[in-house]
Structure 1
Amino acid sequence: MKKISILVTAILALVFNACSTDDEFTFVAKPDPEGIAFMNTFLPSYILKPSNATNLAERFVWNEVDMDVQTTVRYELQASADESFQNMTVIESDIATTNQAVTVGELLALAEEAGLDTDPDTEASNSGTVYFQVRAYAGENPATTVEQFSEPVGITVELVEDTSGEVELPKIYVVGNFQGAGGYGSDWTPADGVPLAASGPAKTDYEGFVYLNVDKPQFKFLPTNASFDGDYGDAGETDGVFTGKLKQEGEKNAGTPDGTGGYYWFKVDTEKMTYSLTKVDWGLIGNATPTGWDSDTDLVYNPETKLWTLTLELTEQVAPDNGIKFRANDGWDINLGDTGADGTLEFGGDNIGVPESGNYTVTMDLSNPRDYTYTLVKN
């Protein structure tokens, strides 16, 4: 197994000028002669699993800097996939304290940029380096802001190789006043949170379906289903508002676009700090159904089983040219088919064939985010 190292650099802000219009005093920020450096001890290697993406990997701690000015010194923790820092990523800026948490997911994203992967059949290494640096600065005007930097520090990361062929996707969880009425345990209970899944390891684009069976639903998004630590809410000024923008500090409870309940398709991006909700009712359409391709036959949702079901007469049809599909809101903007005829559903997938004519119970299960399935059972 190949080894590459991870470098962490700390950066400090150096100069700041502040003038009094009355006394015309000028304060000039000066580098701290004691310098700046990381204070914590790093592990020999950080083992990274996509399933633990939201977990804390390391808390970077550095000493406080005194720039000899009457203004608050701020810090910025930066990261890079290589030592040059030409394409660095800001983990967090405007830090008032001398520490910052870094998650497993943030390390995974850097490892991916560095070319590491978990496939044992490729030549790419599963062990390598990511790089960090912390910047201390005084002043807000770029022309007068002064910076000071620490010496680089390196850490090693190791991705767990995937030998099963299955990847557990990172998840976040939705909690709110809908949980009890929607069949998700108790209201505002993290352990009963409804999962949303990302599209892949170290990704931040989460999606899933949630039944908000209350009037004026309110909810938040949690990084884990263990507590409210690090929760995301809406950036609006009142509870229950929908702005489509996320916020972590001083946030409000999020709500639906029109304040109504129902079955919703959630999309959340914790990097872009955005979220969207689409209210959906599902129907079955196709030339295997009694109404053909002209109109849907509605499915019914059961909150106890979390399944959409329908019993109807179907005629034998051969996919992918013929058959049936699931679609939302009597339109084609959101539709699900089965590419590969493996029982799993994909957005915009192929038509689903019907093996022989008869009376069928059709079931669609959207309760497992990004693992949507269906069954056709002849009665």
Structure 2
Amino acid sequence: MKNRFSFLAAAGLLFALGACEKDEVQVTANASPAPTLTANATDAGTLLSSNATKTAVVYSWTPVTFTLSDGSKPVVPVTYTLEFAKTGTNFAVVGTVPAGTNTTRDSVKVSDLNSALVKAGLTPTLPGTVDVRLRASYSGNQADMLSGVSKISAVPYSRDLYFYGASIGPLGSESPLIREQSPAKFEGYVYVPNATNAFKLSNTASASGTVFGNAGGNNTISSSSTTDFTLAGPKMYRVSVDLTAGTLTAVATDWGIVGAATTGDGTGWNQSIPMVYDTKDKVWKLTGVTLPGLGTNSEFKFRANNAWTINLGDFKDKPGTRLVQDGGNLTTSGPGKYDVTLDLRDPDKYTYSLTKQR
């Protein structure tokens, strides 16, 4: 069945209206059939984070094209997306991989495929199979076109370790987590609310994952241990896990801002202004803090424990997008009172806000 839509409503075709001499002349376009999706493999094998940038599978497809009622063949922007869903679920929960605009193939990286498979519902470290289809989008008022469904099998890995326990909360999508920063090495910030906090870690946010406990009671992490880890609180910790070495380390952190912006001169780099952790909003805050710095003296950073061992600054490759360890200096917009927040919940994207009070 051909997909036929009004030329007047088709984004990307409006340029041709100049060829119409009368407003009442309506040009229509016939779309080609839905794309046919093929792959160079049906089993991606065991995915490894050490191969994250390598190609896992190559998908190719027939493009969606258009023919106008006047016989011309304009180029219409068609955006393609690969969709992955656990086999038999009718795409109820979908993991996606963007496949470009006006493309005919996509070499899917291991990291992208892995993320899509985990989002689709496969359990890390266990083999599974997903259904795959291609979605083609080309006009805001037209239904997307979908390819036929194929399958691919793989053993995904987990990039996240989720914390759960009586004081931290049940295992689920809202559980605090740390994320893999290099193969088998995880790091992130976790707040524990009680005086004593017992917990375990899981590589999924559901009961189907692998659970890690405290082997021997000495913070040796192992999937064969049922013993809880414990941390004193209330406190935020920078937690590091090395699954290869079998170690878990936790460093308590109290955050503050430091820099010339806090004093208006170089002495501001010697002493942090403490921030307060807001347990409701789950961010560190300073409200109505006076920052007198101007020009080169408007620079500041975030650091923990009034020391430089743990500090966060601007991501130099893409300034303003996120905070990174030992990053560049941040700046205020000039002297004034500010509300400052520091958000450490997403291990891939530590962020802050700086709002000048009126």
For the structure 1 residues 310 and 232, does the alpha-carbon distance in structure 2 shift closer, same or farther, using more than 3 Å as the test? Answer: same
- Long gaps (5+) in structure 2: 1-39, 59-105, 117-157
Can you list the C-alpha shifts for 1:231-253, whole angstroms capped at 9, x where unaligned?
A: 001112xxxx4x23111113311
- More helix as a share of residues: 2
Deviation (angstroms), 1:260: 4.1
In structure 2, the residue matched to 1:315 is 292
Q: 2:280 aligns with which of 287, 299, 304?
A: 304
In structure 1, the residue matched to 2:148 is none
Distance 1:45 1:318 in 2: 58
In structure 2, the residue matched to 1:244 is 219
Q: 2:325 aligns with which of 323, 347, 360?
A: 347
Can you list the C-alpha shifts for 1:97-155, whole angstroms capped at 9, x where unaligned?
A: xxxxxx533xx54x56xx934799xxxxxxxxxxxxxxxxxxxxxxxxxxxxxxxxxxx
Aligned pairs for 1:93-112 (under 5 A) are: 104-105=47-48, 108-109=49-50, 111=51
For the structure 1 residues 228 and 162, does the alpha-carbon distance in structure 2 shift closer, same or farther, using more than 3 Å as the test? Answer: closer
Q: What amino acid is the match of 2:248?
A: Y
In 2, are the aligned partners of 1:119 and 1:163 still within 8 Å (CA)?
A: no
Distance 2:344 2:225 in 1: 33
Matched, 1:194 2:181: no
Matched, 1:209 2:184: no
In structure 2, the residue matched to 1:160 is 108
Distance 1:376 1:357 in 2: 12
Q: Which has the higher contact order (CA 8 A, sep 6+)?
A: 1
- More strand as a share of residues: 2
In 2, are the aligned partners of 1:315 and 1:354 still within 8 Å (CA)?
A: no
Deviation (angstroms), 1:196: 1.2
- TM-score for both structures, normalised by structure 2: 0.55
Deviation (angstroms), 1:46: 2.4
Deviation (angstroms), 1:162: 8.6
In structure 2, the residue matched to 1:173 is 162
Please report the RMSD computed on the Cα atoms of aligned residues, expressed in angstroms: 3.2
In structure 1, the residue matched to 2:73 is none
Deviation (angstroms), 1:265: 0.9
Can you list the C-alpha shifts for 1:346-365, whole angstroms capped at 9, x where unaligned?
A: 11111111222111111111
- TM-score for both structures, normalised by structure 1: 0.52
In 1, are the aligned partners of 2:260 and 2:293 still within 8 Å (CA)?
A: no
SS at structure 2 position matched to 1:265: strand
Q: What amino acid is the match of 2:315?
A: T
Distance 1:314 1:306 in 2: 24
Runs of 4+ in 1 over 3 A off after TM superposition: 115-120, 161-164, 316-319
- Long gaps (5+) in structure 1: 1-42, 48-56, 58-102, 121-157, 180-186
Query: What fraction of aligned residue pairs are identical, expressed as a percent?
Result: 27
In structure 1, the residue matched to 2:309 is 333
Deviation (angstroms), 1:228: 5.7
In 2, are the aligned partners of 1:232 and 1:251 still within 8 Å (CA)?
A: yes
